[in-house]
Each structure stands twice: as structure tokens, then as C-alpha cells.
Amino acid sequence: MAPTTSSDKEAVVVVDLRSDTLTQPSALMKQAMVEAPLGDDVFGEDPTVIALQKKVAALLGKEDALFVPTGTMSNLVAVLTHCQQRGSEVILGDQSHIHLYEQGGISQLGGVHPRTVRNLPDGTFDLHDLRRVVRSDNEHFPVSALVCVENTHNVAGGKVVPLDWMDELGATCRQLGLPLHMDGARLLNAATALDLPPARLVRSCTTISLCLSKGLGAPVGSVLAGPQDFIKRARRTRKAVGGGMRQAGVVAAAGIFALDHVYPALGRDHRLLQELAQAVEGCGSKVIRCDPRGAHTNILLVECDPSVVTPEALCERMGQATPAEVTSLGEHVIVRILPLTDSKARLVLHCDVTPGQVQSAARKLRYVIKELDSEC
């Protein structure tokens, strides 16, 4: 991201850490998009879409895959395809993306009832709680039809869900006779952090949603992977919710490029994030804190003392630069971050953030934190 100019005399460095969805296609990605062979994907004739679907299916160790416009649609299509019986119920974490940030689409559009279990700080949930909420065969109750899990877990701070827990969850779902869907929007960050093939992380899952526009740098698109017969039914669901695209290879090509060239570099984002985490922790502040060890991937949650500064106020301050600050730092730095809860703000690294911008953001964080500490 190039510095922007606020005046002829002062260059402003803008570091946008609100989300990893803010990336711009690189010149080489755009070239791949322009040169992609195309066809009508609703007829199943777009060769670039077919190549992307085969690539993701192989990457995740599943039989087939389906390209859709967004991660929200991918999760929606998955749930509606799993839960075709009226009165179905899906069990999922109370802090999951599907439950909090997808407008209740499974209920709004599919009539599927959500039943939540409490997410633990590491993004998991108690498997005893899972067993407890599965419905018995009683005409008064919805029918338990699906379990959903998220990896990495956004609200938990991009944490990688423990692999042994995933294996145990899979075994539990098999015992209960329930399919398991993973919202794997940032699954490849988890695979990178564990240094394992993505297929190993989803071995226990029936279906997986993989997002191409979070961290991977593609402008749009997600892929739903699973058994061949499931994907065949999911194509019908995709059409019903308006996800059928025509010459979609022009955007599928960006996904292929992202998997080939951006995915291998995700570890860089994780390492750079630790520089920000260490900058916050190194201040020893009681007002703004974080846990570098809990920042497994490209997301950092900073905990605010709301009696001193709310997350919204911190975000506002990070988006400003006082004359004294500019003099002290030797540069005018704007860092955009996002309030997440009543006490936490979120910073997210991605492929468009440079090491130099991370250093500028770290200096800004240290300055602002010391400023807030001095006001206590």
C-alpha cells in the first residue's frame, strides 16, 4: 500500500489492518484473470472454474467441490443442503461466524433452527455440551441434522482449533450420526500454523467452506468441498439462492493464482503479526493488553480497559496523528483497526501489508499506548 499525501509537505502512511478482505489483486493475478479460458459455469462448462474446483477438492481430500461467490453463501448452501428436512436444527458455537455475522440466513432463508453451545476461549466447545443438546426423537423438538465448527476461529482471535479436539469432534459426530461442516474461511492459515496439509485438518469433516478472499488475496469467491453426491445437490441449492454464475472463470482464475502463490506465503503474515503483538506486550500496559501466544495466525485481539479507553475510542485514536506524535515518530502514520467487542479491538495482517508498514504500525501502537497510560 503506497503512502498517500495529505499535503505537499507531509506524506501520510496509511496501514489498513481492519480485515484481510481488503487486499487488491496483484498485477500477476489480474493477468491470470484476463487470460483465463471461459465458459458458462451454470452449464458446467467453464474450464477455469472446473480446474479450481478440482484443485480445492484435492487440497482438502474430498471428492468434489463447488465455486460460489462468497463465504456466507458457501456456508448457507452447505447448511441448506445438509438440512433439507423441514424442522431441521444445526448445532454450532455461540461465537461462530455463521451464528453471529451471516444475518441468520440459515433461518431467514432455509427455516433451519440454530442451537448454540458455548464457545471456549480456544474456539472449541465442550463435547459433553454437544451430546447434551442433540435432540431425542420427539415430535415436540426440531430434528438435529448438522454440527458446524470454525477454523481458524475469528472471534477467538484467529486461533487454530486443536487437531486432537477436531479428531474427537469427528468421532463424536460419527457416533451421533451427524454430518460435520467446517467454516474454514481461514483454514489455510490454520494449516500453515500447524505445518500440516489442509486435508489433515478436515479429515473428520463431511463438508468444508474455504474462502479465497480472506488472506489469500483473491477479490471474490469461496469453494464448498465434500462428497460428490452432496456437491451435486449443493449445485441446485446454489442456483436457488442466486449463486449461479456464467463466465465465472475470470474470478476463479484469481482463486487458482491465490492458492498457487499467496497460500505458500501465509507464514509471513503470521510472523509480521507477532511483531505487532510484541510491540503491545512490550509496553507492559494495564490499559491495552494482548496475548502474543494466543495470536496463532494473522489476527491479533487487543484488550482495552473500557474505563480508560473503549475499543471504538482506540480505533479513532489510531486513525489520527497529533503534531507531537508526528514529531516523535518522524512520520505521519494512520492505522485503521476494527472494534470487535465491548473490550476488544482487532488487527489483521494480509499479503498487501509490507514489513515497513508493520514497523510503522508498531511504533504508532507503542506511542498511543504510552499516551493512554500517562493519562491514567
Domain with 356 in it: what CATH number?
3.90.1150.10
Residue 257 within a domain? no
Instruction: Reply yes or no on whether the pLDDT at 7 is more than 70.
Output: no
How many residues are recorded in the chain? 376
Query: Quick one: 169 and 44 in the same domain?
Result: yes
Query: Quick one: 230 and 286 in the same domain?
Result: no
End position of a domain, from candidates 246, 281, 300: 246
Q: Comparing 376 with 219, which gets the higher pLDDT?
A: 219
Distance CA 353, CA 272 (A): 9
pLDDT value of position 139: 93
Phi, psi torsion values for 162, nearest 5 degrees: -55, 135
Quote the mean pLDDT of the chain.
96
Phi, psi torsion values for 374, nearest 5 degrees: -70, -20
Query: Quick one: 19 and 44 in the same domain?
Result: no
Residue 160's CB: how many other CB atoms inside 10 A? 23
Beta strands in 166-233, from DSSP E residues, in sequence order: 180-184, 207-211, 222-226
Instruction: Reply yes or no on whether the pLDDT at 4 is more than 60.
Output: no
- pLDDT category, 6, cuts 50, 70, 90? very low
Instruction: Reply yes or no on whether the pLDDT at 282 is more than 90.
Output: yes
pTM > 0.85? yes
Residue 30 within a domain? no
pLDDT value of position 10: 67
- Dihedral sign, Cα of residue 56, residue 58, residue 61, residue 62: positive
pLDDT value of position 186: 98
pLDDT digits (tens, 9 = 90+) for 321-349: 999 999 999 999 999 999 999 999 999 99
Distance CA 164, CA 340 (A): 29
pLDDT value of position 160: 98
Q: Domain containing 366: what range?
A: 4-23+266-374
Instruction: Reply yes or no on whether the pLDDT at 5 is more than 90.
Output: no
Q: How many domains does the chain have?
A: 2
Query: Quick one: 215 and 353 in the same domain?
Result: no
pLDDT value of position 376: 75
Cβ–Cβ < 8 Å for 50, 65: no
pLDDT value of position 375: 84
Nearest to 202 by CA among 152, 159, 268: 152
Query: Quick one: 19 and 142 in the same domain?
Result: no
Distance CA 87, CA 261 (A): 44
pLDDT value of position 3: 42
Helix and strand numbers (H, E) in the chain are: 15, 14
Instruction: Reply yes or no on whether the pLDDT at 178 is more than 70.
Output: yes
pLDDT digits (tens, 9 = 90+) for 72-83: 999 999 999 999
Residue 146 within a domain? yes
Residue 200 within a domain? yes
pLDDT digits (tens, 9 = 90+) for 346-367: 999 999 999 999 999 999 999 9
Residue 164 within a domain? yes
pLDDT value of position 1: 40
